[in-house]
Structure 1
């Protein structure tokens, strides 16, 4: 009989033994789940199960309140931004262009309204290349009602360098 249990031949376990085995597995699984919950709720000390459940419940309620608060805050911030946009003068919607030069590397940041003239990244890259720069990275990002362009370039011949004022003038000609 013992040999059959070890080898696994046939069903030698009684119904009661099977039920006991399933119950033991269930208890072990529950114990593992409570340990996992305890590690999230109270990682510093081990709590009895009733206290652990109480603490987990209050923690979940706090998280739910925090999510509600953050959603309301986001909504008020977005409404405030929309209100500010409508109060802005038309000059604040003009493109914002900034060019920074560090040695033979030049970086251009441009923020333009979606409602303004359609501008392609290719046009801006052409300005850099025509002025003797090799584009290292170019990025275009759409933000709600604006588009942000970031271009980083390096002078092809570092002795000659790049003239940021010429690039700025040519970029402004394309933009306006």
Structure 2
């Protein structure tokens, strides 16, 4: 009679078997989670769990420091931009860059202050060509205290 309770009757599982099954599922889930963590921390090679945890911890600390640094940098840049607007000083204008893509077409607009290091249109075109894009049109416009560059290129995949 006791033996039947241990093994279970018919298709019902005993308490011990249910516990063992839950533990096996938990171990499989942990294994899957460690594999996922490993793919983010060290995608080129599989690490033992203690090293994986150590690297993941270091990586998280680095990311936290980077977020803090970027927030401070953003705050500084925004304060500088507000200062530029209030002073209306052309020497402290920050460059403005916007890049838009539609399929394989890329449009880049860059506006810089004339007091900044002068870029040549040729230098900008060279960057596009080095990266494998064919320039379809390029434009340079001088606007009072700023220079605007517009480049439209097609990327070959």
Give, in whole Å, the separation in 2 of the partners of 1:47 and 1:131: 35
- Residue number in structure 1 paired with 2:104: 104
**Any runs of at least 4 consecutive aligned residues in structure 1 with deviations exceeding 3 A, and if so which?**
1-11, 89-154
Give, in whole Å, the separation in 1 of the partners of 2:108 and 2:78: 28
CA contact (8 A) 2:112 2:146 kept: yes
Give, in whole Å, the separation in 2 of the partners of 1:129 and 1:90: 31
> Displacement, 1:124?
31
> Displacement, 1:44?
0.8
- Residue number in structure 1 paired with 2:144: 144
> Displacement, 1:85?
1.2
Count, aligned residues: 157
Give, in whole Å, the separation in 1 of the partners of 2:18 and 2:101: 77
CA contact (8 A) 1:134 1:153 kept: yes
* Corresponding position: 1:70 with 2:70: yes
* Matched position secondary structure for 2:119: coil
* Matched position secondary structure for 1:108: strand
Instruction: Point out the structure with max Rg over C-alpha.
Output: 1
Q: In terms of mean alpha carbon deviation, does 69-78 or 117-126 score higher?
A: 117-126
> Displacement, 1:13?
1.3
Give, in whole Å, the separation in 2 of the partners of 1:150 and 1:117: 18
Give, in whole Å, the separation in 2 of the partners of 1:120 and 1:137: 15
* RMSD over aligned Cα atoms: 12.0
* Matched position secondary structure for 1:43: coil
Unaligned 5+ segments in structure 1 are 155-173
Cα distance per residue 1:105-125 (max 9 Å; x no partner): 999999999999999999999
* Matched position secondary structure for 1:52: helix
> Displacement, 1:12?
2.4
CA contact (8 A) 2:108 2:152 kept: yes
